[in-house]
Amino acid sequence: MSRKVIITCAVTGNITSPKQHPNLPITPKQIAAACIDAAKAGAAICHIHVRDPETGAPSMETALYREVMDRIRETGTDLLINLTTGPGQRFIPSKEDPKVAAPGSTLMRPELRVPHVIELKPDICSLDLNTMFAGTSVVINTPENVAIMAQLIRGAGVKPELEVFDSGDIHLAHKLIADGVLQTPALFQICMGIRYGFEASPATMLYARSLLPPDSAWAAFGVSRWEFPMLAQAVLVGGHVRVGMEDNLYLQKGVLTPDNTALVERAAHIIELLGESVATPTDAREILGLKGK
């Protein structure tokens, strides 16, 4: 029998710019429509960031998340909703005094990164475990802050998707599991091809997988040109997958994807070519041990 592979679609993110792609979803209506269309193409989960509808800049406004979720749910779809908690972790040291934040820093207390999750109670939310360089900034997720967020997420009855960018992140997950902060079976997302993190290669994926707790569900994705090679590799070695305009804007070299749907369709085609089947939202809930909402 073929294995059921979950496709997550990350429809907009907080780094990709509207200047890079004219069809990047920005408004709650556009983001919800992108999720619904991705579900029709085979996505069982949509990973959601929201944007300021006027400027396109990343936002953490609960009202925007609520509108996106309401628009999705009013269609009757059982698509699993995964909200980000990523914004609020970047620090840019000023050149004059490195201990003082420069413009563009977003670092905030961990409690302020999860109120939308606590109020809206999505099926899943991301929980970044990384501390690493990111361009001119440093992403900072201290073990203490991760633990605070994890406890608040758990209290809301939401399943955290543990975003890991390097091996140390997985070791941190093991420690939080041992301390009872994170529950098992855990859900991991292995993030590959991001500078100074996991290299996008088969050997690195196998290494990352080998570090996971044995009962974990896991998915992986590669950014930019690594999206589809890493997708195929994840399918071959037993993982689930993620695509979307948060991670990659191209169907092939030099060819912009028209939308998120085309990326999901390509992912579904690869999964089927490799002899597996695409998981429905119902399948995904069973695989991840989640109830319908």
Q: Is residue 293 in some structural domain?
A: no
91 is a domain residue: yes
Average pLDDT over residues 257-274: 98
pLDDT (0 to 100) of residue 155: 98
- Average confidence (pLDDT) over 23-52: 98
Extract the tokens encoding 119: 């109020």
Helical (H) or strand (E) element with 38: helix 28-41
At residue 142, does pLDDT exceed 90? yes
pLDDT at residue 136, rounded to an integer: 86
**How much is the average pLDDT of 261-275?**
98
- Does the structure show a pLDDT above 80 at 1? no
The answer to whether position 122 is within a domain reads yes
Percent of the chain with pLDDT over 90: 97
Domain holding 16, by residue range, is 4-288
Say if 236 falls within a structural domain. Answer: yes
- Comparing C-alpha atoms, which of 170, 163, 172 is closest to residue 194? 163
Cα gap 293→157, rounded to integer Å: 11
Number of domains in the chain: 1
Question: For the domain that residue 59 is a member of, what is the CATH number?
Answer: 3.20.20.70
Please report the pLDDT score of residue 293 as a whole number.
60
> Residue 292: pLDDT above 90?
no
User: Per residue in 112-125, pLDDT tens?
Assistant: 999 999 999 999 99
Q: Are 267 and 239 in contact (CB under 8 A)?
A: no
Where helices occur in the chain by DSSP H, the ranges are 28-41, 62-73, 115-120, 143-155, 167-178, 202-211, 227-236, 260-273, 281-288
Q: Which pLDDT score is estimated for 135?
A: 85
**Mean pLDDT score across all residues of the chain:** 97
